Structure 1
């Protein structure tokens, strides 16, 4: 990490004054001099990462001396619900990390998971990731939020050995939240048997629970997520319809066309044509705004 660039990013964070520290669904970074450090509230479920930077040489780790009043404390306040769902899709079922996420996901009550010093975590690697987060957040270049999500996920995964698991059996509501998360993350390949094995439940019980809580069967819930993803791919990309069908879990297009039309009242081709007409209208509107006199002459 370039120290001058990191220092500029820290100065940017220090200059931002925040009265309300609510991360919402994303990630919020705040920085304070140690002499000014306030109490960070825990009014919403979130993960909190924190580290201290040397005020003069932020690229150096504070391993050999005590922090000073001018040193910089940085907090990363990570929206818990959204980040846990992203992480859960990546974590193997056998890992402690996955079990931590399963135990915590779906909790709506106020609470935080705070990770600071931990013997199991390599401080140099964690601070490198943290520094990249600071720079991405302060500079806010294109796709910075996506980059921040990835870095935050890496930091949480690296620190996961230091997170203590919350004991206790999951409630039915929490379990349904987990199942719906998995269905939304992998609609093209998710199976009821696979979910049963992943969460150590009987598949018949999971099927009944989903129907009871959601009013729809497992297959209906999967189909809905497949259709929503297909619609997004058709409107946001130029991928062929046959490719879109395969990406959401259908080997052929006939069944896909039928289900898509039942769900949206239009064929995939009509949805894509509608996007093209919308784009053309937007371009025409933009051109008129850029050249208002020419537009008036055309109408006159």
Structure 2
């Protein structure tokens, strides 16, 4: 009896070791997958603060919370199951779907550029959301979640490619870990960024002169930082969207654009000390140019479409007069 109990305890201990090893493997794989998606995480962090610009201070964190919940819902309820099913049964469909999302990102980025140079209606969003009603707030949150969906999809697909050889269940667990970890990271950083001015005000009221100086510096610098992040977010959408299209066309068989960019990257790799950076810069610029061209075309097409619809609605009114 005692021998059987000892044997049972040994079996339990062995199973525990296997489980612990599996958890370690999942953790390591999740870490690798998250590292591969780090570039898109930076883009996501830069894009999101643009959506809370103009909010009253008491609404900033609640709005970020709403966007974060929407982002997590995007990843866990929609992107993760779809990515797993597609990778299991129709892996060839992932690239076209991702390219559609990339085109949408290019459109979003180009539209914001058009607004900034005076062709759009950016001024409509300059007033605090509280002055325009709850519907405007909901619209901004919905826009942020839609943009997040594309960035989240790329993060999850990049992570999936990193662990494609893992068993199905392991893939699901790893992607879930990546989804939660990246969402907490991104929106934690975003929350810190948008509340930095409040932190600065608090520091500015302290007794220490050095602390007060830091607080005043934070308060004075935050509008500039938010402006820079807004611009970075727009560039990031063009860059990420263009890169998705660049890689996607290569995977679908049109190798010319990617081969050209890759050749340019290789030509500078030998530059001592900065070859890697120059290669990355070439890829980034090429991706941003592609994103800008595709986005401009998309904006033109959509403006024509909306313009035609607008004219069609106005024509009967003109005829009635």
TM-score > 0.5, shorter chain as reference: no
TM (normalized to structure 2)?
0.20
Greater fraction of residues in strand:
1
Which structure has more helix as a fraction of its residues?
2
Higher relative contact order (CA 8 A, sep 6+): 2
